[in-house]
């Protein structure tokens, strides 16, 4: 009698770099709370919030177009362009695109640079919003 080993289901190993870590999972909602708190306390004009929404939408579309180009072999968007768009305020849209489109979510060098742009943008937002700098005064 021939004994066979039980069939095992082969699964692909999970790539931890492609998964949303704790920071990624809470970054957009945490920034939204920070934005609301600062907007109320330091009176940030609504145009700043609209700019974040617009840039996030543009950035999400850029990631979607780049993902499509990657699949079809078309012209790709430079990583520096994606990072710059995130730096100036589109990073929430980029982060959502990374999650929902699964694009630019694995490459470690890009992810490190991306998180650097997120940190720089948030710091710049806080500093520019502070009463000491008052950068948004002209927008009111």
Tens-place pLDDT, residues 30-78: 999 999 999 999 999 999 999 999 999 999 999 999 999 989 989 999 9
Per DSSP, which regions of the chain are E strands?
none
Domain layout of the chain by residue ranges = 36-132
Neighbours of 80 (CB within 10 A): 9
pLDDT for the residue 107: 83
Are 101 and 67 in contact, with CB atoms under 8 Å apart?
yes
pLDDT in tens, 66-75: 999 989 989 9
Does residue 140 have a pLDDT over 90? no
Q: Sort residue 4 into left (φ over 0), alpha (ψ -120 to 50) or beta.
A: beta
Return d(Cα 107, Cα 4) in angstroms, integer: 41
**Half-sphere exposure of residue 58: CA atoms within 13 angstroms, side-chain side:** 16
Report residue 89 as tokens.
């305020």
pLDDT for the residue 46: 94
pLDDT for the residue 104: 83
Does residue 124 have a pLDDT over 50? yes
pLDDT for the residue 21: 56
pLDDT for the residue 6: 57
pLDDT for the residue 17: 47
Q: First vs last Cα of the chain: how many Å apart?
A: 85
pLDDT in tens, 5-21: 555 555 554 554 444 45
Return d(Cα 52, Cα 39) in angstroms, integer: 13
Q: Calculate the average pLDDT of the chain.
A: 85
Does residue 95 have a pLDDT over 60? yes
Report residue 115 as tokens.
């998180």
């Amino acid at each position: 009698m021939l004994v066979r080993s039980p069939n095992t289901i082969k699964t692909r190993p999970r790539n931890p770099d492609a998964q949303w870590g704790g920071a990624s999972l809470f970054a957009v909602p945490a920034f939204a709370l920070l934005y609301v708190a600062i907007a109320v306390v330091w009176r940030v004009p609504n145009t700043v919030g609209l700019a974040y929404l617009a840039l996030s939408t543009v950035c999400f579309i850029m990631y979607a177009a780049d993902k499509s180009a990657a699949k079809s072999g078309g012209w790709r968007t430079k990583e520096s362009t994606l990072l710059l768009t995130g730096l100036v305020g589109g990073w929430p849209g980029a982060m959502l695109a990374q999650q929902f489109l699964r694009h630019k979510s694995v490459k470690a060098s890009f992810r490190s640079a991306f998180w650097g742009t997120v940190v720089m943008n948030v710091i710049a937002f806080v500093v520019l919003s502070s009463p000491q700098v008052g950068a948004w005064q002209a927008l009111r």
